[in-house]
A and B are shown apart, each in its own frame.
Chain A
Amino acid sequence: MKILVGYKRVVDYNVRIQVKPDGSGVVTEGVKLSANPFDDIALEEALRLREKGVATDVVVATIGPADCQAHLRNGLAMGANRAIHVVTTQAVQPLTAARTLLKLIEKEQPDIVILGKQAIDDDCNQTGQMLAALWNRPQATFASKVDINGRNARVTREVDAGLETIEVDLPAVITTDLRLNEPRFIKLPDIMKAKSKPLETIPLESLAVESGDHLKTTHYAAPAKRSKGVMVKDVAELVSLLKTKGLV
């Protein structure tokens, strides 16, 4: 069984994002970039399925600029067998990403595709669902538990009402939630080993993907600041303040 994992590079979640004063974007120069945390969880799940003997082949794929190679090497160091780098200088929107991943699916014929439920840069939460629709296959989004039984998967999903379990036929798209697993740390010898693992480079243009980048971002703004509040010294003062505000 083969698993394809989407592995996006984003601004690290610890970075304090600054909006440029002219509203043209956010500052990305010189900030730390890392794997999207949900994609690390996706890769970890694929590796665990391989370790359990369910899968044999784990392929990580990213769509991004030339310097994403180091990022993909991290995925290989974590344990992926192979990597695919779809090279583009422009950031792509989810529909384009889904159409691109569909091309990779046609080429690789995976049994399972695992993606993060959202990327923490654009926070879109779309690509997995779009990919499943274009592929005409099931989607099991926001997964917190995955069990593969032969040709189907039983997936527990974190939904607003609680935990929903669905069963999907394979092949299928799964998107990860935070509690699916805790990704492993990369060890130094694995970084060395990763250097000799296959990494295929494909220019986005060569895939003849119809662009789905229909949205135009015209302005970036810093969020409205909440005004600084007051500190109270004890519970009595807190209660009287809440009473004044009519909240209790």
Chain B
Amino acid sequence: MSKVLIVAEHLNGKLNSSTARCVTCAQAFNADSIDVLVLADTPAAIAAEAAAIAGVSKVLTISHSANAHAIAAVYAPQVVAAAQGYSHVLAPSTTFGKDLAPRIAALLGVAQVSDIAEVVNAHCFKRPIYAGNAIITVEAPADAVLVATVRTASFAAAAAGGSAAIEALNVSAELPAHTRFVELQQGKSDRPDLQSASRVVSGGRGVGSAENFAVIYQLADKLGAAVGASRAAVDAGYVPSDLQVGQTGKIIAPELYMAIGISGAIQHLTGIKDAGTIVAINKDGEAPIFEIADIGLVGDLFTLVPQLEAALG
């Protein structure tokens, strides 16, 4: 009997698609019920979005001014209070879930499974370790609550079409004041979101400068793609940190991934291993990226990328 509670991720009043991916993961448990918990200052609109995900049994809301921002130390005791009677508590393996889930697990006194990539059964999972160089099968005790994060790139988002009931919860939990939100600097962009985009164009150190990144942005815009980057490109200041793809950045699974001026270090590749088609453009024919690319093109990106953009009309 699995009763699953998923902690919803949301920002600026909108539900993140990572929540619907957690629903798909939970469905693989043959769960008896899948509930979604929305902590927010004004949860109504977010809860309505969650209620529309097919497969969701019930949406629970905890409305509190302290929940205006996702502060793990504030959310965790409320989730623990709400989690009574559940067999599983899931959160997406995004920075939101990674920050929050271990705090919940520790308060419950249980271990946490990070980055579920495949469900064997409700207490047995596969997950990557060593930057994806090994996949382990992990068994968790069946007699304790299971807290886990879900590797969102491994699960498609559950479809819309649900109409779950929404219920307001009153939990008594002591909320700490020791942690205060100051600000969120968000890159303003009309481009698709990197974590859910079906096409991604990424640039690496080979792009050479922030100015040169214009060629990447232009190709991305032609394709309606999101923009990503390697760690080296972020470290060098070509692009902001939220574009980093890889072991310690974002793990993504677009239908089309274009790696441009990226060598293909294992830490980068682990972030794209579930991509549909990987295209690599690199001037070094020996670059490791070509070992995993579905389509490779050797040459100078400053010649090839504008050509490609033009050819796409």
**A residues touching B (Cβ–Cβ < 8 Å)?**
11, 13, 16-17, 19, 26, 93-95, 98, 117-118, 120-134, 136-142, 144, 154, 157-169, 172, 177-179, 212-224, 226, 228-236, 238-239, 241-242, 245, 247-248
Contact B133 A161 (CB under 8 A): no
Residues of B within 8 A of A157 (CB): 95
Contact A247 B277 (CB under 8 A): yes
Residues of B within 8 A of A125 (CB): 98, 102, 114
Query: Distance in Å from the Cβ of A176 to the closest Cβ of chain B?
Result: 11
Which B187-220 residues have C-beta < 8 A from chain A? 187, 195, 199
Contact B11 A161 (CB under 8 A): yes
Number of interface residues of B (CB under 8 A): 88
- Among B129, B135, B195, which residue has its beta carbon within 8 angstroms of that of A160? B195
A65 and B102 CA atoms in complex are apart in Å by 25
Shortest Cβ-Cβ A-B pairs, 8 listed: A129-B102, A133-B106, A229-B294, A17-B133, A130-B106, A126-B102, A214-B111, A219-B137
CB-nearest residue of chain A to B182: A165
Query: Distance in Å from the Cβ of B15 to the closest Cβ of chain A?
Result: 14
Known contacts A95-B105, A144-B241; A218 and B138 CB within 8 A of each other: yes
Residues of B within 8 A of A169 (CB): 178-179
**Does more than half of chain B's interface fall in helix, strand or loop, or is it mixed?**
mixed
A83 and B131 CA atoms in complex are apart in Å by 29
**Using an 8 Å CB-CB cutoff, how does the interface string of B226-242 with A read, 1 for contact, 0 for none?**
00000100110000111
Contact A220 B180 (CB under 8 A): no
Residues of B within 8 A of A121 (CB): 129-130
Contact A159 B242 (CB under 8 A): yes
Contact B311 A235 (CB under 8 A): yes
- Among B94, B111, B296, B304, which residue has its beta carbon within 8 angstroms of that of A213? B111
Query: Distance in Å from the Cβ of A90 to the closest Cβ of chain B?
Result: 15
- Among A124, A139, A178, A217, which residue has its beta carbon within 8 angstroms of that of B235? A178
Residues of A within 8 A of B277 (CB): 242, 245, 247
Contact B144 A133 (CB under 8 A): no
Known contacts A94-B112, A162-B186; A19 and B106 CB within 8 A of each other: no
Query: Distance in Å from the Cβ of B196 to the closest Cβ of chain A?
Result: 11
Which B146-185 residues have C-beta < 8 A from chain A? 176, 178-185
Known contacts A120-B131, A129-B102, A158-B242; A166 and B247 CB within 8 A of each other: no
